[in-house]
Amino acid sequence: MSRDLSPLIGSVERSYPLDCLSDTHDYHQLLVGLGGRVDVEVEGRGAAMGPGSVCLIPAAATHHYLGLDADNRCRVLDLPVGEAVDTLFERIRFLRLAPEEAAGLDDERLLARLGGAPAWRGPRLNMASLTRRVQADPAAPWSLARLAEASRLSERQLRRSLTEITGLTPWQWLTRQRLALAERLLMTSDASLTEIALACGFADGAQFSRHFRRWRGQPPSAFRRVR
Give the per-residue pLDDT at 9. Answer: 57
First to last CA, the chain: 53
Give the per-residue pLDDT at 227. Answer: 63
Q: Residue 204 and residue 217: Cα distance in Å, rounded?
A: 19
Residues in the chain: 227
Q: Which residues of the chain have pLDDT under 50?
A: 1-7
Give the per-residue pLDDT at 143. Answer: 95
What would the pLDDT profile of 20-29 be if each residue is shown by its tens digit?
889 999 999 9
Q: CB–CB of 54/92 below 8 Å? A: no
- Residue 19 has φ and ψ, to the nearest 5°, of -100, 150
How much is the pTM?
0.72
Q: Is 35 helix (H, G, I), strand (E, B) or coil?
A: strand
CA distances from 171 to 42, 168, 207, 214 (A): 26, 8, 15, 15
Type of residue at 79: L
Give the per-residue pLDDT at 47. Answer: 84
Give the per-residue pLDDT at 5. Answer: 46
What would the pLDDT profile of 77-126 be if each residue is shown by its tens digit?
999 998 778 999 998 899 999 999 999 999 989 999 998 899 887 667 88
Give the per-residue pLDDT at 68. Answer: 86
DSSP 204: S
DSSP 201: T
